[in-house]
Amino acid sequence: MALRPILCFPDPKLHKVARPVQQVDERIRSLVADMLETMYAAKGIGLAATQIDVHERVIVIDVSEERNAPLVLINPVLSWTSAERHVNEEGCLSVPGIYDNVERFDAVQVTALDQDGQSRTISADGMLAVCIQHEMDHLLGKVFVEYLSPLKRNRIKTKMLKQQREERD
């Protein structure tokens, strides 16, 4: 297992569209292990492969208090979404220190392969539903700040670039 560096907004690589996984093999299981290690080390509740510059449709999530209930979603597809939507506060490991409100479906059903290549359908609400939608956006090259106004997004971009310059120099 290895910790992988997480891309930071506004890195253009965060906007790449991930391709479907062709086969769930040892390479993918090793990627999943690295993603889980990286997510837990960063104290996140989710991570998409896009965020570590791997452009394949793989997500890991753990919304449990105990941090012992990992969920692996490979080639996820939303098979049902609720009529109701809710606004929730979101954060992102690729936009550190920024939290803002985003409207999402209240509940979803997602069909995906697990790390053994088995197909599973999961019903989710609450934070799990929010996190699934946030991570699936990453696979489409979308970062949550894109739901915010252009003014807010530009301020965040300026702040992130300044932060990155200061870390580098």
Which stretch in 34-42, 75-83, 87-95, 103-111 sits in contact with Zn ion by CB under 5 A? Answer: 87-95
Taking the C-alpha atoms of residue 107 and residue 80, their distance in angstroms, rounded to an integer, is 8
45 binds, among Zn ion, ligand K1U, none (CB under 5 to 8 A by kind): ligand K1U
The residue (of 26 and 64) whose beta carbon lies closer to ligand K1U is: 64
Q: Does the protein bind Zn ion through residue 92 (CB under 5 A)?
A: yes
Nearer to Zn ion, 92 or 107 (CB): 92
At a CB cut-off of 8 Å and minimum separation 6, what does 106 contact?
82, 84, 85, 86, 125, 129
Place of tokens 């999402």: 104
CB of residue 104 vs ligand K1U: minimum separation in angstroms?
Answer: 8
Catalytic residue among 103, 135, 166, 167: 135
Contact between 18 and 49 under an 8 Å Cβ cutoff? The reply is yes
SS3 label, residue 73: strand
Q: Is 135 a catalytic residue?
A: yes
Residue 73 as a binder of Zn ion (CB under 5 A): the answer is no
The first and second tokens of residue 166, run together, are 């200061």
Rounded to 5°, the CA angle 117-39-55 comes to: 55
Which residues of this chain interact with ligand K1U, rule CB under 6 A? 43-48, 90-94, 99, 130-131, 134-135, 138
Residues involved in catalysis? 135
- Residues lying near Zn ion in the complex (CB under 5 A): 92
